[in-house]
């Protein structure tokens, strides 16, 4: 099964770049023989969907800013939660579930399994490439969860993602 992990975010807006930081870390811990491709994306919707084309499984990592959890909380996202992730939608683009539905109707091969992880953030307005302490402390946890998921195969079914 061809798997892609996509870290999403803005790398110069403090915690908004947590998905990018996770992707960079995963590149160093995943063995080359794992067959997993790790990518980064700076926008959601069609661009994020484009990064998934040709893969059977996608794992997305993004920042969450809900105010419902303390900063640094790692959350396994369900299909409905993807709308709350910081970068899976844009006012200038389609949201990810709509982009995936569009691709499926157009006959484009997109993953049949999609898993998403979010990290509750503290600051996405300060220009900095550094994460806040709570979000930085969450990095080993989210990296570990993704590594476990790759081995266990825990995913959302496509109908859950597409709603």
**Cβ neighbours of residue 89 under 8 Å, at least 6 residues apart?**
44, 45, 82, 83, 95, 96
CB 5 within 8 A of CB 37: yes
Number of domains within the chain: 1
* Coil vs helix vs strand at 22: helix
pLDDT by residue for the chain (163 residues), tens only, comes to 899 999 999 999 999 999 999 999 999 888 776 889 999 998 877 888 889 999 999 999 999 888 889 999 999 986 556 655 555 555 545 777 777 788 888 888 888 888 899 999 999 999 999 999 999 999 999 999 998 888 845 554 444 443 3
Entry pTM:
0.84
**CATH code, domain with 8:** 3.40.50.1450
Strands (E), 82-150: 113-120
CB 124 within 8 A of CB 13: yes
CB 112 within 8 A of CB 158: yes
CB 63 within 8 A of CB 86: yes
């Amino acid at each position: 099964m061809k798997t892609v992990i996509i870290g999403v975010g803005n790398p110069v807006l403090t915690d908004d770049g947590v998905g990018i930081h996770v992707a960079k870390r995963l590149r160093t811990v995943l063995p080359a023989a794992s067959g997993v491709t790790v990518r980064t994306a700076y926008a959601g919707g069609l661009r994020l969907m484009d990064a998934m084309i040709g893969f059977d499984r996608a794992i997305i990592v993004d920042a969450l800013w809900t105010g419902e959890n303390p900063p640094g909380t790692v959350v396994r996202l369900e299909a409905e939660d993807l709308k709350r992730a910081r970068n899976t939608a844009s006012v200038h683009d389609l949201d990810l579930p709509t982009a995936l539905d569009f691709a499926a109707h157009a006959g484009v091969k997109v993953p049949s399994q999609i898993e998403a992880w979010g990290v509750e953030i503290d600051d996405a307005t300060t220009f900095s490439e550094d994460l806040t302490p709570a979000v930085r402390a969450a990095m080993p946890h989210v990296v570990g969860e993704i590594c476990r998921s790759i081995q266990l195969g825990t995913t959302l079914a496509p109908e859950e993602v597409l709603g």
